[in-house]
Chain A
Amino acid sequence: DAGVIQSPRHEVTEMGQEVTLRCKPISGHDYLFWYRQTMMRGLELLIYFNNNVPIDDSGMPEDRFSAKMPNASFSTLKIQPSEPRDSAVYFCASSLEAPGRDEQYFGPGTRLTVT
């Protein structure tokens, strides 16, 4: 397997624009996670899915953020409208078992810069 795939790897956009980040989890993994990493706040769990269903989105910072998982092999994280404080590295991860009880496989991340 190619591992968790994320696209794009880098995204530069202007404030107010819509940004869509994409993730393809490892085939057969039932759990998918979206994380955000910044120098100030470290690694934060934004949302996770189980069998394509969002289970906990309490980490999503505000209504400008939304995530979907239309099928087992694809998920998106959308920011609309984007703001400079959204600049961060966004990671997608997947796992076989329940969160915390199993190894999470992380993608390479998407570095987002909002100017």
Chain B
Amino acid sequence: LAKTTQPISMDSYEGQEVNITCSHNNIATNDYITWYQQFPSQGPRFIIQGYKTKVTNEVASLFIPADRKSSTLSLPRVSLSDTAVYYCLVGDFGGGGNKLTFGTGTQLKVEL
């Protein structure tokens, strides 16, 4: 299993950039890194996915260093509605990588 570690919680203010890091020391060569957002009483929702270097979409960026032992989700200019739990997911069944393993989750609280 790809063991993943995240900070338990983070606080921020509206308009700030938030960076959440996930450590995955035993990531396998074929493993992908995916981030999900979860609101209370809802299922997780996809944010972004990457394999190496940097990926950017309309809501976030994902930074992955060369050794791939960690990854950082970057949320630009957060708002109150970004208050949620954020999970990293590491693994890849399709290519023989690790079994899918969710991180412990980071509770992000955004205030005015």
Chain A interface (Cβ < 8 Å from any Cβ of B):
4, 42-45, 48, 55-56, 58-59, 91, 93, 97-109
Contact = CB atoms under 8 A, between A and B. Distances in A.
Interface in B62-112: 87, 89-95, 97, 99-105
B34 interface: yes
Interface in B27-69: 31-32, 34, 41-46, 49
B43 A108 contact: yes
B100 A106 contact: no
Given A43-B87, A106-B44, A106-B45, A56 B99 contact: yes
B99 A108 contact: no
A98 B44 contact: no
29 contacts: A42-B103, A42-B105, A43-B44, A43-B102, A44-B102, A45-B101, A91-B44, A97-B94, A98-B93, A98-B95, A99-B91, A99-B92, A99-B93, A100-B31, A100-B89, A100-B91, A100-B92, A100-B93, A100-B100, A101-B92, A101-B94, A101-B95, A103-B34, A103-B49, A105-B46, A106-B43, A108-B41, A108-B43, A109-B42
